[in-house]
Protein backbone atom coordinates (compact mmCIF):
# COMPACT_ATOMS: atom_id res chain seq x y z
CA UNK A 1 0.00 0.00 0.00
CA UNK A 2 1.30 3.45 -0.93
CA UNK A 3 2.05 5.92 1.87
CA UNK A 4 -0.12 8.29 -0.18
CA UNK A 5 -3.18 6.16 0.52
CA UNK A 6 -5.75 8.21 2.42
CA UNK A 7 -3.78 11.42 1.99
CA UNK A 8 -5.57 14.65 1.04
CA UNK A 9 -3.56 16.33 -1.71
CA UNK A 10 -3.95 19.80 -3.17
CA UNK A 11 -2.40 19.83 -6.63
CA UNK A 12 -1.52 23.32 -7.83
CA UNK A 13 -1.01 23.73 -11.58
CA UNK A 14 0.63 26.78 -13.07
CA UNK A 15 0.82 27.90 -16.68
CA UNK A 16 3.52 25.92 -18.45
CA UNK A 17 3.45 23.36 -21.24
CA UNK A 18 4.23 20.62 -18.69
CA UNK A 19 0.69 21.13 -17.34
CA UNK A 20 -0.44 18.48 -19.82
CA UNK A 21 1.34 15.88 -17.67
CA UNK A 22 -0.90 16.61 -14.70
CA UNK A 23 -3.68 14.41 -16.10
CA UNK A 24 -1.40 11.42 -15.57
CA UNK A 25 -0.28 12.77 -12.21
CA UNK A 26 -3.86 13.04 -10.94
CA UNK A 27 -4.59 9.49 -12.11
CA UNK A 28 -1.54 8.19 -10.25
CA UNK A 29 -2.59 10.01 -7.06
CA UNK A 30 -6.04 8.45 -7.26
CA UNK A 31 -4.56 5.03 -8.01
CA UNK A 32 -2.38 5.37 -4.90
CA UNK A 33 -5.52 5.94 -2.82
CA UNK A 34 -5.23 9.69 -2.34
CA UNK A 35 -8.00 12.31 -2.49
CA UNK A 36 -7.16 15.19 -4.82
CA UNK A 37 -8.31 18.79 -5.10
CA UNK A 38 -6.93 20.67 -8.10
CA UNK A 39 -6.24 24.40 -8.18
CA UNK A 40 -5.30 25.92 -11.54
CA UNK A 41 -3.87 29.31 -12.33
CA UNK A 42 -5.85 31.05 -15.09
CA UNK A 43 -2.88 30.64 -17.48
CA UNK A 44 -2.68 26.88 -16.93
CA UNK A 45 -6.10 26.41 -18.56
CA UNK A 46 -4.45 27.19 -21.89
CA UNK A 47 -2.59 23.87 -21.63
CA UNK A 48 -5.12 21.47 -20.06
CA UNK A 49 -8.83 21.77 -19.38
CA UNK A 50 -10.48 21.86 -15.96
CA UNK A 51 -13.00 19.33 -17.30
CA UNK A 52 -10.24 16.75 -17.80
CA UNK A 53 -8.86 17.24 -14.31
CA UNK A 54 -12.23 17.33 -12.56
CA UNK A 55 -13.19 14.09 -14.31
CA UNK A 56 -9.97 12.38 -13.21
CA UNK A 57 -9.94 13.78 -9.66
CA UNK A 58 -13.69 13.31 -9.17
CA UNK A 59 -13.76 16.78 -7.62
CA UNK A 60 -14.53 20.25 -8.97
CA UNK A 61 -11.45 22.14 -10.15
CA UNK A 62 -10.79 25.52 -8.53
CA UNK A 63 -9.28 28.44 -10.41
CA UNK A 64 -10.79 31.72 -9.26
CA UNK A 65 -12.01 33.05 -5.94
CA UNK A 66 -15.57 32.96 -7.26
CA UNK A 67 -17.49 32.44 -10.48
CA UNK A 68 -17.85 35.93 -11.95
CA UNK A 69 -20.66 34.74 -14.23
CA UNK A 70 -22.83 33.59 -11.32
CA UNK A 71 -24.15 36.35 -9.07
CA UNK A 72 -24.97 33.71 -6.43
CA UNK A 73 -21.54 32.07 -6.61
CA UNK A 74 -19.94 30.80 -3.42
CA UNK A 75 -16.51 32.09 -2.50
CA UNK A 76 -13.75 29.49 -2.95
CA UNK A 77 -12.17 29.60 0.48
CA UNK A 78 -8.40 29.34 0.05
CA UNK A 79 -7.92 29.00 3.81
CA UNK A 80 -10.15 25.92 3.94
CA UNK A 81 -8.34 24.40 0.97
CA UNK A 82 -4.97 25.03 2.58
CA UNK A 83 -6.03 23.55 5.91
CA UNK A 84 -7.76 20.56 4.26
CA UNK A 85 -4.57 19.29 2.65
CA UNK A 86 -2.17 16.74 4.12
CA UNK A 87 0.28 17.88 1.48
CA UNK A 88 0.38 20.36 -1.37
CA UNK A 89 2.12 19.69 -4.67
CA UNK A 90 2.72 22.49 -7.19
CA UNK A 91 3.45 20.93 -10.56
CA UNK A 92 4.39 22.37 -12.90
CA UNK A 93 5.91 25.23 -10.92
CA UNK A 94 6.86 27.88 -13.46
CA UNK A 95 9.47 30.59 -12.89
CA UNK A 96 6.65 33.10 -12.53
CA UNK A 97 4.78 31.08 -9.87
CA UNK A 98 8.00 30.24 -8.02
CA UNK A 99 8.93 33.90 -7.85
CA UNK A 100 5.49 34.78 -6.44
CA UNK A 101 5.73 31.97 -3.88
CA UNK A 102 9.14 33.23 -2.78
CA UNK A 103 8.07 36.87 -2.44
CA UNK A 104 4.48 36.42 -1.22
CA UNK A 105 2.96 38.01 -4.31
CA UNK A 106 -0.59 36.71 -3.91
CA UNK A 107 -2.55 37.46 -7.07
CA UNK A 108 -4.49 34.21 -7.65
CA UNK A 109 -6.25 31.40 -5.81
CA UNK A 110 -3.27 29.04 -6.05
CA UNK A 111 -0.91 31.53 -4.39
CA UNK A 112 -3.50 32.37 -1.71
CA UNK A 113 -3.91 28.68 -0.91
CA UNK A 114 -0.14 28.18 -0.82
CA UNK A 115 0.24 30.99 1.71
CA UNK A 116 -2.56 29.46 3.83
CA UNK A 117 -1.27 25.88 3.76
CA UNK A 118 -0.07 24.36 7.04
CA UNK A 119 1.03 21.09 5.43
CA UNK A 120 4.28 20.10 3.68
CA UNK A 121 4.58 21.80 0.26
CA UNK A 122 6.38 20.19 -2.68
CA UNK A 123 7.15 21.99 -5.93
CA UNK A 124 8.25 20.56 -9.27
CA UNK A 125 9.95 23.25 -11.41
CA UNK A 126 9.33 23.29 -15.14
CA UNK A 127 10.90 25.81 -17.52
CA UNK A 128 13.51 26.25 -20.23
CA UNK A 129 17.14 25.62 -19.31
CA UNK A 130 18.24 29.26 -19.32
CA UNK A 131 15.31 30.23 -17.12
CA UNK A 132 16.08 27.31 -14.81
CA UNK A 133 19.66 28.52 -14.29
CA UNK A 134 18.86 32.24 -14.05
CA UNK A 135 19.98 33.82 -10.75
CA UNK A 136 16.44 34.95 -9.96
CA UNK A 137 15.12 31.40 -10.34
CA UNK A 138 17.95 29.99 -8.24
CA UNK A 139 17.14 32.61 -5.61
CA UNK A 140 13.50 31.46 -5.64
CA UNK A 141 14.64 27.85 -5.13
CA UNK A 142 16.77 28.87 -2.15
CA UNK A 143 14.06 30.99 -0.58
CA UNK A 144 11.44 28.25 -0.88
CA UNK A 145 13.78 25.65 0.61
CA UNK A 146 14.45 28.00 3.52
CA UNK A 147 10.68 28.22 4.02
CA UNK A 148 10.68 24.43 4.41
CA UNK A 149 9.23 23.70 0.97
CA UNK A 150 10.58 20.61 -0.75
CA UNK A 151 11.86 20.72 -4.31
CA UNK A 152 11.23 17.82 -6.69
CA UNK A 153 14.25 18.21 -8.98
CA UNK A 154 13.69 18.91 -12.63
CA UNK A 155 14.91 16.35 -15.15
CA UNK A 156 17.22 16.69 -18.14
CA UNK A 157 15.94 16.15 -21.64
CA UNK A 158 14.27 17.74 -24.63
CA UNK A 159 12.45 20.98 -23.81
CA UNK A 160 9.49 22.70 -25.48
CA UNK A 161 11.85 25.27 -26.97
CA UNK A 162 13.63 22.55 -28.91
CA UNK A 163 16.70 22.83 -26.73
CA UNK A 164 17.88 19.96 -24.58
CA UNK A 165 18.96 20.36 -20.96
CA UNK A 166 17.80 20.69 -17.39
CA UNK A 167 14.35 22.11 -16.74
CA UNK A 168 11.85 19.35 -17.67
CA UNK A 169 9.25 18.77 -15.00
CA UNK A 170 9.81 15.38 -13.38
CA UNK A 171 7.67 12.69 -14.96
CA UNK A 172 4.47 11.91 -13.02
CA UNK A 173 5.74 8.44 -12.05
CA UNK A 174 8.94 10.00 -10.71
CA UNK A 175 6.98 12.61 -8.76
CA UNK A 176 5.00 9.82 -7.07
CA UNK A 177 8.20 7.91 -6.30
CA UNK A 178 9.82 11.06 -4.86
CA UNK A 179 6.83 11.83 -2.66
CA UNK A 180 6.53 8.27 -1.37
CA UNK A 181 10.23 8.06 -0.55
CA UNK A 182 10.30 11.46 1.16
CA UNK A 183 7.18 10.82 3.23
CA UNK A 184 8.30 7.30 4.19
CA UNK A 185 11.72 8.54 5.32
CA UNK A 186 10.09 10.93 7.78
CA UNK A 187 7.59 8.50 9.33
CA UNK A 188 8.21 8.26 13.10
CA UNK A 189 8.26 4.44 13.21
CA UNK A 190 10.33 3.95 10.07
CA UNK A 191 12.61 0.94 10.54
CA UNK A 192 10.81 -0.36 13.65
CA UNK A 193 9.53 -3.94 13.78
CA UNK A 194 6.30 -4.37 15.74
CA UNK A 195 4.59 -7.60 16.78
CA UNK A 196 0.84 -7.29 17.41
CA UNK A 197 -1.61 -9.96 18.54
CA UNK A 198 -5.32 -9.63 17.82
CA UNK A 199 -8.64 -11.39 18.08
CA UNK A 200 -9.78 -14.35 20.17
CA UNK A 201 -8.36 -17.85 20.44
CA UNK A 202 -10.54 -20.93 20.06
CA UNK A 203 -9.85 -23.99 22.20
CA UNK A 204 -11.22 -27.18 20.71
CA UNK A 205 -13.61 -29.45 22.64
CA UNK A 206 -14.08 -31.82 19.72
CA UNK A 207 -13.84 -31.46 15.92
CA UNK A 208 -17.01 -29.31 15.93
CA UNK A 209 -17.12 -27.34 19.18
CA UNK A 210 -14.72 -24.95 20.88
CA UNK A 211 -14.36 -22.56 23.81
CA UNK A 212 -13.92 -18.96 22.65
CA UNK A 213 -14.82 -15.35 23.41
CA UNK A 214 -16.45 -12.36 21.75
CA UNK A 215 -13.32 -10.52 20.62
CA UNK A 216 -13.68 -9.20 17.06
CA UNK A 217 -9.98 -8.43 16.61
CA UNK A 218 -10.74 -4.85 15.52
CA UNK A 219 -8.54 -3.21 18.15
CA UNK A 220 -5.47 -5.22 17.14
CA UNK A 221 -6.09 -4.75 13.42
CA UNK A 222 -6.51 -0.99 13.91
CA UNK A 223 -3.22 -0.85 15.83
CA UNK A 224 -1.52 -2.80 13.03
CA UNK A 225 -2.88 -0.47 10.35
CA UNK A 226 -1.86 2.63 12.29
CA UNK A 227 1.64 1.25 12.95
CA UNK A 228 2.13 0.43 9.26
CA UNK A 229 0.97 3.92 8.27
CA UNK A 230 3.60 5.33 10.65
CA UNK A 231 6.33 3.41 8.85
CA UNK A 232 6.63 0.26 10.96
CA UNK A 233 7.11 -3.25 9.67
CA UNK A 234 4.27 -5.15 11.33
CA UNK A 235 3.79 -8.82 12.14
CA UNK A 236 0.12 -9.29 13.04
CA UNK A 237 -0.76 -12.61 14.69
CA UNK A 238 -4.52 -12.99 14.72
CA UNK A 239 -6.89 -15.55 16.09
CA UNK A 240 -10.09 -16.44 14.19
CA UNK A 241 -11.70 -13.25 12.82
CA UNK A 242 -13.38 -12.06 9.63
CA UNK A 243 -11.02 -9.07 9.42
CA UNK A 244 -8.24 -8.83 6.83
CA UNK A 245 -5.59 -6.41 5.62
CA UNK A 246 -4.09 -5.57 2.24
CA UNK A 247 -1.24 -3.41 3.55
CA UNK A 248 2.05 -4.78 2.25
CA UNK A 249 3.81 -3.59 5.44
CA UNK A 250 1.70 -5.99 7.52
CA UNK A 251 2.51 -9.69 7.63
CA UNK A 252 -0.69 -11.39 8.75
CA UNK A 253 -0.32 -14.76 10.48
CA UNK A 254 -3.60 -16.50 11.26
CA UNK A 255 -3.78 -18.90 14.21
CA UNK A 256 -6.52 -20.83 15.97
CA UNK A 257 -5.61 -21.72 19.54
CA UNK A 258 -3.67 -20.16 22.40
CA UNK A 259 -0.86 -22.63 21.77
CA UNK A 260 -0.76 -21.63 18.10
CA UNK A 261 -0.48 -17.96 19.10
CA UNK A 262 2.19 -18.75 21.71
CA UNK A 263 4.29 -20.58 19.10
CA UNK A 264 3.88 -17.81 16.50
CA UNK A 265 4.78 -15.06 18.99
CA UNK A 266 7.93 -16.84 20.13
CA UNK A 267 8.96 -17.53 16.54
CA UNK A 268 9.06 -13.77 15.80
CA UNK A 269 9.56 -11.95 19.12
CA UNK A 270 13.36 -12.03 19.22
CA UNK A 271 13.69 -9.74 16.18
CA UNK A 272 11.03 -7.25 17.29
CA UNK A 273 11.44 -3.74 18.69
CA UNK A 274 7.90 -3.58 20.08
CA UNK A 275 5.24 -6.14 21.03
CA UNK A 276 1.61 -5.17 21.62
CA UNK A 277 -0.55 -7.98 22.99
CA UNK A 278 -4.10 -6.95 22.10
CA UNK A 279 -5.48 -10.48 21.62
CA UNK A 280 -8.05 -11.95 23.98
CA UNK A 281 -6.26 -15.24 24.64
CA UNK A 282 -8.10 -18.08 26.37
CA UNK A 283 -6.93 -18.69 29.94
CA UNK A 284 -8.07 -22.32 29.90
CA UNK A 285 -8.51 -25.12 27.38
CA UNK A 286 -10.05 -28.58 27.51
CA UNK A 287 -7.54 -31.03 28.95
CA UNK A 288 -8.69 -33.77 26.61
CA UNK A 289 -9.97 -33.05 23.09
CA UNK A 290 -12.40 -35.63 21.70
CA UNK A 291 -11.35 -37.10 18.36
CA UNK A 292 -14.98 -37.53 17.28
CA UNK A 293 -17.97 -35.26 17.79
CA UNK A 294 -19.35 -35.70 21.29
CA UNK A 295 -22.90 -37.06 21.17
CA UNK A 296 -25.67 -35.57 23.25
CA UNK A 297 -26.44 -38.33 25.76
CA UNK A 298 -26.35 -37.26 29.40
CA UNK A 299 -28.40 -34.56 31.13
CA UNK A 300 -25.17 -32.91 32.29
CA UNK A 301 -21.70 -32.82 30.82
CA UNK A 302 -18.43 -31.82 32.45
CA UNK A 303 -15.26 -30.66 30.71
CA UNK A 304 -11.99 -30.71 32.61
CA UNK A 305 -9.94 -27.62 31.82
CA UNK A 306 -6.26 -26.85 32.14
CA UNK A 307 -4.41 -23.54 32.02
CA UNK A 308 -3.01 -22.30 28.73
CA UNK A 309 0.49 -20.85 28.55
CA UNK A 310 0.60 -17.16 29.44
CA UNK A 311 1.91 -15.61 26.22
CA UNK A 312 2.47 -12.12 27.61
CA UNK A 313 4.27 -13.33 30.73
CA UNK A 314 6.48 -15.59 28.64
CA UNK A 315 7.47 -12.63 26.44
CA UNK A 316 8.18 -10.55 29.54
CA UNK A 317 10.52 -13.26 30.85
CA UNK A 318 12.72 -13.22 27.74
CA UNK A 319 12.43 -9.47 27.06
CA UNK A 320 15.69 -7.79 26.12
CA UNK A 321 15.24 -4.35 24.59
CA UNK A 322 11.66 -4.78 23.39
CA UNK A 323 9.01 -2.26 24.40
CA UNK A 324 6.28 -4.57 25.70
CA UNK A 325 2.65 -3.46 25.89
CA UNK A 326 -0.16 -5.55 27.35
CA UNK A 327 -3.92 -5.17 27.58
CA UNK A 328 -6.04 -5.74 30.68
CA UNK A 329 -9.81 -6.19 30.54
CA UNK A 330 -11.11 -5.89 34.09
CA UNK A 331 -14.47 -5.74 35.83
CA UNK A 332 -13.37 -4.87 39.39
CA UNK A 333 -10.33 -3.42 41.17
CA UNK A 334 -9.19 -2.38 37.70
CA UNK A 335 -6.19 -0.20 38.57
CA UNK A 336 -4.73 -2.52 41.21
CA UNK A 337 -5.15 -5.60 39.03
CA UNK A 338 -3.49 -3.80 36.12
CA UNK A 339 -0.54 -2.74 38.29
CA UNK A 340 -0.06 -6.34 39.45
CA UNK A 341 -0.05 -7.48 35.83
CA UNK A 342 2.66 -4.93 34.95
CA UNK A 343 4.93 -6.31 37.66
CA UNK A 344 4.11 -9.97 37.15
CA UNK A 345 4.58 -9.88 33.38
CA UNK A 346 7.45 -7.38 33.16
CA UNK A 347 5.53 -4.89 31.01
CA UNK A 348 6.51 -1.37 30.01
CA UNK A 349 2.93 -0.21 29.53
CA UNK A 350 -0.54 -1.61 30.03
CA UNK A 351 -3.75 -0.56 28.27
CA UNK A 352 -6.60 -0.98 30.73
CA UNK A 353 -10.16 -1.60 29.59
CA UNK A 354 -13.08 -1.76 31.99
CA UNK A 355 -16.34 -3.46 31.09
CA UNK A 356 -17.94 -0.97 33.48
CA UNK A 357 -17.35 1.81 30.92
CA UNK A 358 -20.11 2.32 28.38
CA UNK A 359 -18.80 2.03 24.83
CA UNK A 360 -15.83 -0.16 25.76
CA UNK A 361 -15.31 -3.90 25.39
CA UNK A 362 -15.81 -6.54 22.74
CA UNK A 363 -17.63 -6.00 19.47
CA UNK A 364 -17.79 -2.21 19.66
CA UNK A 365 -16.32 0.42 17.34
CA UNK A 366 -15.24 2.54 20.32
CA UNK A 367 -13.03 2.01 23.34
CA UNK A 368 -12.24 3.79 26.59
CA UNK A 369 -8.82 3.05 27.99
CA UNK A 370 -6.46 4.03 30.76
CA UNK A 371 -2.70 3.95 30.27
CA UNK A 372 -0.54 2.75 33.18
CA UNK A 373 3.22 2.62 32.68
CA UNK A 374 5.84 0.58 34.57
CA UNK A 375 6.33 3.49 37.00
CA UNK A 376 2.57 3.35 37.72
CA UNK A 377 1.85 6.70 36.10
CA UNK A 378 -1.87 6.63 35.30
CA UNK A 379 -3.42 8.42 32.31
CA UNK A 380 -7.17 7.97 31.74
CA UNK A 381 -8.39 8.68 28.21
CA UNK A 382 -11.76 9.74 26.83
CA UNK A 383 -14.10 7.42 24.93
CA UNK A 384 -12.80 7.33 21.35
CA UNK A 385 -13.05 5.32 18.16
CA UNK A 386 -10.76 2.29 18.13
CA UNK A 387 -8.82 3.94 15.30
CA UNK A 388 -8.14 6.94 17.54
CA UNK A 389 -7.22 4.66 20.45
CA UNK A 390 -4.78 2.84 18.16
CA UNK A 391 -3.17 6.19 17.36
CA UNK A 392 -2.87 7.00 21.08
CA UNK A 393 -1.17 3.66 21.74
CA UNK A 394 1.32 4.17 18.89
CA UNK A 395 2.02 7.69 20.16
CA UNK A 396 3.25 6.03 23.37
CA UNK A 397 5.62 3.92 21.28
CA UNK A 398 6.83 7.00 19.38
CA UNK A 399 7.39 8.87 22.66
CA UNK A 400 9.43 5.93 23.98
CA UNK A 401 11.82 6.05 21.01
CA UNK A 402 11.97 9.85 20.76
CA UNK A 403 12.26 10.68 24.44
Task: Indicate which CATH number applies to the domain containing 109.
Answer: 3.40.50.1950
Q: Which of 194, 193, 211 is nearest to 203 (CA)?
A: 211
DSSP state of 168: E
Considering the domain architecture, whether residues 179 and 203 belong to the same structural domain is answered as no
pLDDT at 77: 67
State whether residue 9 is helix, strand or coil. Answer: strand
Alpha helices in 32-91 (DSSP H): 50-57, 78-84
pLDDT of the residue at 160: 84
What gap in Å lies between CA 388 and CA 403, rounded to an integer? 22
Choosing from 161, 185, 209, the residue where a domain stops is 185
Asked whether 243 and 196 are in contact (CB, 8 A), the reply is no
pLDDT tens per residue across all 403 residues of the chain: 788 988 999 999 999 999 999 999 999 999 999 999 999 999 999 999 999 999 999 999 998 876 665 555 555 567 788 889 999 999 999 999 999 999 999 999 999 999 999 999 999 999 999 999 999 999 999 999 999 999 999 999 888 888 788 899 999 999 999 999 999 999 999 999 999 999 999 999 999 999 999 999 999 999 999 999 999 999 999 999 999 998 888 999 999 999 999 999 999 999 999 999 999 999 999 999 999 998 887 788 899 999 999 999 999 999 999 999 999 887 678 899 999 999 999 999 999 986 666 655 566 778 889 999 999 999 999 999 999 999 999 999 999 998 7
What would you report as the CA-atom Rg of the chain, rounded to the nearest whole angstrom?
A: 28
pLDDT computed for residue 365 by the predictor: 77
Per-residue pLDDT at 169: 96
Cα distance from N-terminal residue to C-terminal residue, the chain: 29
Whether 232 and 349 share a structural domain: yes
Q: Name every residue whose Cβ is closer than 8 Å to that of residue 45 and which is 6 or more positions away in sequence.
A: 63
The reply to whether 121 falls in a domain is yes
Cross-strand bridge partners of residue 150: 122
With contact defined as beta carbons under 8 Å apart, do 340 and 351 qualify? no
pLDDT, residue 2, reads 83
Range of the domain at 258: 193-290+305-401
Handedness of CA 109, 111, 112, 117 (dihedral sign): positive
Report d(CA 39, CA 265) in Å as an integer.
49
> Of 152, 185, 218, which residue sits at a domain end?
185
Task: Say if residue 174 is in the same domain as residue 314.
Answer: no
**pTM attached to this predicted model:** 0.80
Q: Helices 50-57 and 22-31, interaxial angle, to 10°? A: 10
Beta strands in 126-269 (DSSP E): 150-151, 155-158, 164-168, 193-198, 203-204, 210-211, 233-238, 250-254
How much of the chain is helix, strand and coil, in % rounded to 5? 35, 25, 40
18 and 112 belong to one structural domain: yes
Task: Indicate the number of domains in the chain.
Answer: 2
Domain shared by 177 and 212, yes or no? no
Residue 45 lies inside a defined structural domain of this protein? yes
Residue 272 sits in the same domain as residue 197: yes
DSSP string, 245-287: ---TTEEEEE--SHHHHHHHHHHHGGG-SEEEE--B--SEEES
For residue 260, give Cα distances in angstroms to 198, 257, 277, 292: 13, 5, 15, 21
Residues with active-site annotation = 213
Looking at the structure, tell me whether residues 176 and 225 fall in a common domain: no
In a domain, 299, yes or no: no
Give the end of a domain, one of 185, 218, 238.
Answer: 185
Amino acid sequence: MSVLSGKKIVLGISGGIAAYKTASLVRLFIKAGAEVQVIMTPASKDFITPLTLSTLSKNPVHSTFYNEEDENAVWNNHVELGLWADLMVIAPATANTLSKMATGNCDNLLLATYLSAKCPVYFAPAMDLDMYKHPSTLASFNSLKQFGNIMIPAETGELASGLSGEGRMAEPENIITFLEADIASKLPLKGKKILITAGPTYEAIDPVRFIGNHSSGKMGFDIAKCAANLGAEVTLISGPTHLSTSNSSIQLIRVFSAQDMYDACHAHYENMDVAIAAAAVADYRPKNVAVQKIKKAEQSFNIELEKTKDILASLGEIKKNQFLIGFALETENEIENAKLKIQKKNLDLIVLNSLQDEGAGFGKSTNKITFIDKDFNIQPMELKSKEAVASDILNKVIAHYHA
